Amino acid sequence: MVDREAGSLTASGHIDEIDYIDVAASAPHEQPTIVPKGAILTVRGWAVLAEEPAGTTGVYAIVDDGSPLEALYGLERDDIAELYGSDVHGSCGFKAVLSTSHLAPGQHTLSLAVRDAEGRLLAVPGSESFTIESSLDRLVLEAPESESWTPIAVDSCAVDDEFAEEPLVAGPASIVSIRGWAVDSPAGTVASAVFGVAGSLAVKAAYGFPREDVVADQGGAEFRRSGFALDIPADELGPGSHAVLIRAVGADGETVYDGPIVRIDVSGFDAESALVEATASLTKASIDEIAVFDADGNVRVPSGEVRLARGEQLFVRGWAIDEVADATARAVHLCIDDLASTAAVYGLDRGDVATVFGRPDLAACGFTALLSTASLGAGAHEVAVRVIDREGRRYYDAQQRIEFTIEDAG
């Protein structure tokens, strides 16, 4: 246990376990921190404010310099209660579930932060690392058109959980879902993995779901765990028309089989219909909290003018809804000046907002984002909250802004 002082409080914690979800394997992984790209990462541990454990209101997992992702907090940890000699510490366990589809191959760092009763984030000292394994990604991207054949089938496609037919039409914040099955027929068993490949993008599917119909069709119990579920964020594809090739890697880990092609049209933001200067009648949003992370992971909360050294990161927390749709939004992005926007973690619970509006269905409207300032020049800058509408086809910029200054290193 290593403590780091932040103001008058000390954040303590530890990442006890990093693993990933593999539907085809029930036993623990021999190398849990060697993670296949696209797998779902699970993180367990504990974190607490040592002096005010009852004031710990949340825990966040942070990959590299990305946005803090709120974990499930309050799990039982009798060992930590015994360590501190306090029953109050007995509910400081957490579990976080993280997507890896957006991470580049190679090593990544996972760290923690805790939220106090005033909404401030305090960094937990220390970190753990994990590696996104890339060999199969390179294989499916670099392999020439396959001369071998094996059965690969697409059963259904959906955009944002709604059934769709080709060409699939998706908004920039949509999730395209492709469901089907694949086997390695020449080897007489299931494949090693299934991918969706579009240009230089390879997205690994969750593979190994039971398919009794495939057993009956292919004539062997060896083909039972042959189902796949492929979810592709449309913003990773980018605007335009795309041909997503379904590719399976054989049981030998070397042979590549080509399957069907799924055609997807991703719309961009329509400059004429995008409502850049939105009013409260079009979207409702609020920035509730601003904090600054320095290069060592320390946190400070500005009391007045927001000033940062180049390279420090700006943490933003708030909520947003799509007033036109009278519902939660599709997504929230934060945009500094005219630079490319940064996607926030959206959908966090904000029961306080739901209570104010008298609408429990609006509770999942919270967002957090961590913004890098490494590429910004010295001087004044402005952050806008960009709310993607429910349909994912246009956006509204909220009226509230964050003004901050990058200090000249000289």
pLDDT in tens, 229-283: 888 888 778 788 899 999 999 988 889 999 999 999 987 644 334 434 444 446 7
3-state secondary structure of 264: strand
Give the pLDDT of residue 301. Answer: 78
Q: How far is CA 378 from CA 88, 194, 195, 302, in A?
A: 45, 46, 43, 18
pLDDT of 152: 96
Domain boundary among 133, 155, 186: 133
How much of the chain exceeds pLDDT 70, in percent? 85
Pair (344, 375) in one structural domain: yes
CA angle 313, 4, 100 (to 5 degrees): 50
Same domain? 327 vs 207: no
Cβ(47)–Cβ(123) under 8 Å?
no
Q: Are 251 and 212 in the same domain?
A: yes
Residue 158 and residue 116 share a domain: no
pLDDT of residue 248: 94
- The answer to whether residues 128 and 212 belong to one domain is no
Instruction: Determine the number of helices (DSSP H) and then strands (DSSP E) in the chain.
Output: 5, 32
Within a domain: 314? yes
Asked whether residue 26 is assigned to any structural domain, the reply reads yes
At 189 the pLDDT is: 92
What's the CATH number where 222 sits? 2.60.40.650
With a CB cutoff of 8 Å and minimum separation 6, the contacts of 227 are 179, 180, 181, 207, 208, 209, 210, 211, 214
- The residue segments making up the domain with residue 207 are 136-266
Asked whether residue 388 falls in the same domain as residue 334, the answer is yes
Residues listed for the chain: 410
Residue 329's pLDDT band, with cuts at 50, 70 and 90, is confident
pLDDT digits (tens, 9 = 90+) for 315-328: 888 999 988 888 88
Average pLDDT over residues 380-409: 81
Is residue 276 one of the residues assigned to a domain? Answer: no
Residue 271 falls inside a structural domain? no
List Cα–Cα distances, 227 to 165, 181, 241, 261, in angstroms: 20, 4, 27, 17
- The domain that holds 306 is classified in CATH as 2.60.40.10
Q: Is residue 115 part of a domain?
A: yes
Range with lowest mean pLDDT among 177-191, 206-220, 290-304: 290-304
* One domain, residues 20 and 128: yes
Q: Which of 24-33, 204-213, 215-224 has the lowest mean pLDDT?
A: 24-33
pLDDT of residue 273: 40
Is the predicted pLDDT of residue 3 greater than 60, yes or no?
no
Q: What is the pLDDT of residue 279?
A: 43
Same domain, 210 and 306: no
Asked if residue 168 belongs to a domain, the reply is yes
Say what the pTM is.
0.49
Q: Which of 237, 266, 295 is the last residue of a domain?
A: 266
**What's the angle, vertex CA 343, arms to CA 342 and CA 344, rounded to 5?**
115
User: What pLDDT score was predicted for residue 22?
Assistant: 57
129, 157: one domain: no
Average pLDDT for 7-30: 72
**H or E element: which one contains 334?**
strand 331-336
Q: How far is the C-alpha of 314 from the C-alpha of 219, rounded, in Å?
A: 57
In a domain, 372, yes or no: yes
Please report whether residue 274 resides in a domain. no
Omega before residue 167 within 30° of 0, cis: yes
The average pLDDT across 327-332 equals 84
CA–CA separation, 41 and 61 (whole Å): 11
* Token reading at 50: 């040592």
Per the prediction, the chain carries an average pLDDT of: 81
Residues 67 and 124 in one domain: yes
Burial label, 277 (beta-carbon count in 10 A; 0-12, 13-18, 19+): exposed
Q: What is the largest CA-CA distance in the chain?
A: 73
pLDDT at residue 7, as a whole number: 53
Average pLDDT estimate for 353-373: 85
Q: Report residue 161 CA to chain centroid gap.
A: 18
User: 89-103, 120-134, 209-223, 354-368: which range is least confident on average?
Assistant: 89-103
Q: What is the DSSP letter of 377?
A: P
pLDDT digits (tens, 9 = 90+) for 145-195: 888 899 999 999 998 778 989 899 988 767 899 999 999 999 999 998 899
Residue where a domain stops, chosen among 133, 160, 185: 133
d(C-alpha 327, C-alpha 363), whole Å = 10
Tally of domains within the chain = 3
Same domain for 318 and 258: no
> Does 127 share its domain with 141?
no
Residue 214 pLDDT greater than 90, yes or no: yes
Structure token pair of residue 121 = 């984030």
